Structure 1
Amino acid sequence: MQTVAAALTMVRDDAFFLKAWLRHYGEVLGRENCYVVNHGRGAEVEQLAEGCNIIGIPGDPHPNFDMKRWRMLNNFVQGLRSYYTHVIVGDVDELVVVDPSTGLNLLDYLAKTKGKRVLTPLGLEVIHRPELEPEPITDRILGPRRHLRLAPHYSKPCVISNGCKIARGGHYTSFDELITPDELYLFHLKFCDFDNYVRVMDARNAVTQEIGKSIKETAIGRHWFPVARGDDRALFDGFAQLKMQEGFDVDWVRKRMHRSFTPRGDTGFFQFNRPEYDAQYVLPERFNGLF
């Protein structure tokens, strides 16, 4: 059994994203090194994640859901560090990928990467352009979906080999150095398929309605609430308005991250600027089929 890297996530009924997460990390790290927190002890999650380390927890809705979740994930990460050099932690719709041009998969790459640090992959959001990509996703996502937008919000310090604290949402850590390897990306999949987006948002809206609290009264992301949802079709149609870029040179984004890296007030965490970019790219074919 390898002890280079483990992957950790928490999921509740997100079968579409869990399948992609399992394909990616299960294949490259081995399912025995994948840790799935089954929020609500869902039978489908248990079935899909067979062969992984499944941790069942109660699923009662709670206004401080995100705070409780990241407190638990923080502790799990530090526990797993006793047995693995690197621990990859994040939401089930976030996947860390090594550029295939290196000739290495994620496990090989991390085996060559020293520990006692935190890696921050560059965030890229897979966006569905239905007018250009009408075919449904049946197995792999990359290939049927090739369009991306820059997502600084998802450039997360998520590959952990240091005894640091991770902030709620996974966006900041207490590690005082920003390490952004050129070959490392974090793909966010929330917008990779219109039909699945609608299903997921319906489910999340139902959770917040069951809790019965306002956005200000909870520690749940604003995007879970119906009031912040807007028109789904208009959102996806808007992706066409992002300026198409030539090639796939995104290193300038990493340079801007480094220039703005600073303590996050007196919180003990560190941050970099996360502006909105009016840009989209077509993913090079070498990434097709990675997940």
Structure 2
Amino acid sequence: MQTVAAAVTMVRDDVFFLRAWLRHYGGLLGRENCYVLNHGRGAEVAALAAGCNIIGLPGDPHPNFDMKRWRLLNGLVAGLRGYYAHVIVGDVDELVVLDPAQGSLLDWLADQPGRRVLTPLGLEVIHRPELEPDPVTEVILGPRRHVRLAPLYSKPCILSLGTKIARGGHFTQASKLHTPDPLYLLHLKYCDFATYAEVMDRRNAVAAAAGVAVKEAAIGRHWFAQARGEDRALFDGFADLPLQEGFDLGWVRRRMHRSWRARGETGFWQFDLPDYRQQYLLPERFFGMV
């Protein structure tokens, strides 16, 4: 049994993303090294994640959902670090990938120094319905090859160092920034129009069940119906993002390092999160890996 890396996520009914998460991390790390927090003890989640380490949790609506979730994830990551060199933690629609030109993620992590927090470069996989009319079934990359820069999803999510992770996973208290060139975090929320609409309907229902307004809840604002907007307009808008040539994103990592600083008096560290209005085509070597 390998002890190089484990992966941890929490999921509630998002079986489309869970299937992708399981194919990716289950294949790379082995299901015995995957930890799935089954929020609401969903039967379908439990069946899909068979062979993983499944922790069933009560699913009652709560206005401080995100706060409770990250308190638990922090504790679990801290404990797993005693058994694994690296622990990958994140939402079920976020996957860490290594540029295939550099080999496998597991082998690459085995060669990395310890006592670090690694921050992959965040990319959102976006569905261009006018160019990609077919729905995604299983394999995502290939049928979907457009990505946009997503600084908010450049998350410090691979830990071999004891540190606290902020709610949402966007910041830690590690004071040094490590952004390896071949490492990416793919955010899959927008990878398929029909799936997006279904997932958002469920999340809007969960937020409504909490019975409080956006400002009174520790739940992501994007879970609330009033922050959603019109789905088709959102996806049609992806066509307006200028398409860039090539796939050299070193300039983004350099900007992250230049703006690296303490996040006020919170104890956390951050870089700037500009709104990059551009998109790229993933190189073909990435096709089929997710």
Give the TM-score, by structure 2 length.
Answer: 0.99
Say whether 1:279 aligns with 2:278: yes
What's 1:123 paired with? 122
Q: Structure 2: where are the runs of 5+ without partners?
A: none
Cα drift, residue 135 of structure 1: 1.4
What's 1:45 paired with? 45
Query: SS where residue 168 of structure 2 aligns?
Result: helix
Write out per-residue CA displacement over residues 94-123 of structure 1, whole angstroms, 9 at most, x where no aligned residue: 000000111x11101101111110000000
Give the whole-Å Cα distance in 1 for the aligned partners of 2:38 and 2:85: 24
What's 2:212 paired with? 213
Query: SS where residue 190 of structure 2 aligns?
Result: coil
What's 1:26 paired with? 26
Q: Which amino acid aligns with 1:32?
A: E
Moved more, 205-214 or 259-268: 205-214
Cα drift, residue 207 of structure 1: 0.8
Say whether 1:68 aligns with 2:68: yes
What's 2:186 paired with? 187
What's 1:110 paired with? 109
Please identify runs of 4+ aligned residues in structure 1 that moved more than 4 A.
Answer: none
Write out per-residue CA displacement over residues 164-221 of structure 1, whole angstroms, 9 at most, x where no aligned residue: 0000000000000000000000000000000000000000111111111100110001
Q: Which amino acid aligns with 1:88?
A: I
Give the whole-Å Cα distance in 2 for the aligned partners of 1:246 and 1:88: 31
What's 1:198 paired with? 197
Say whether 1:161 aligns with 2:160: yes
Q: Contact 2:135–2:194 at 8 Å: present in 1 too? A: no
Write out per-residue CA displacement over residues 61-117 of structure 1, whole angstroms, 9 at most, x where no aligned residue: 100000000000000000000000000000000000000111x11101101111110
Give the whole-Å Cα distance in 2 for the aligned partners of 1:136 and 1:144: 8
Give the whole-Å Cα distance in 2 for the aligned partners of 1:80 and 1:213: 34
Q: Which amino acid aligns with 2:250?
A: D
What's 1:236 paired with? 235
Cα drift, residue 47 of structure 1: 0.2
Cα drift, residue 129 of structure 1: 0.1
Give the whole-Å Cα distance in 2 for the aligned partners of 1:211 and 1:8: 25
What's 1:134 paired with? 133
Q: Which amino acid aligns with 1:163?
A: G
Give the whole-Å Cα distance in 2 for the aligned partners of 1:208 and 1:123: 26
Query: SS where residue 137 of structure 2 aligns?
Result: coil
Give the whole-Å Cα distance in 2 for the aligned partners of 1:207 and 1:172: 25
Cα drift, residue 137 of structure 1: 1.1
Cα drift, residue 148 of structure 1: 0.3
Give the whole-Å Cα distance in 1 for the aligned partners of 2:126 and 2:59: 30
Q: Contact 2:262–2:270 at 8 Å: present in 1 too? A: yes
Give the whole-Å Cα distance in 2 for the aligned partners of 1:277 and 1:114: 31
What's 1:13 paired with? 13
Give the whole-Å Cα distance in 1 for the aligned partners of 2:277 and 2:30: 38
Q: Contact 2:15–2:44 at 8 Å: present in 1 too? A: yes
**Equivalences, count:** 290
Give the whole-Å Cα distance in 2 for the aligned partners of 1:97 and 1:210: 35
Give the whole-Å Cα distance in 1 for the aligned partners of 2:21 and 2:152: 20
Q: Which amino acid aligns with 1:246?
A: E
- Aligned identity (percent) is 72
Q: Cα RMSD over matched residues? A: 0.5
Give the whole-Å Cα distance in 2 for the aligned partners of 1:153 and 1:63: 23
Give the TM-score, by structure 1 length.
Answer: 0.99
What's 2:175 paired with? 176
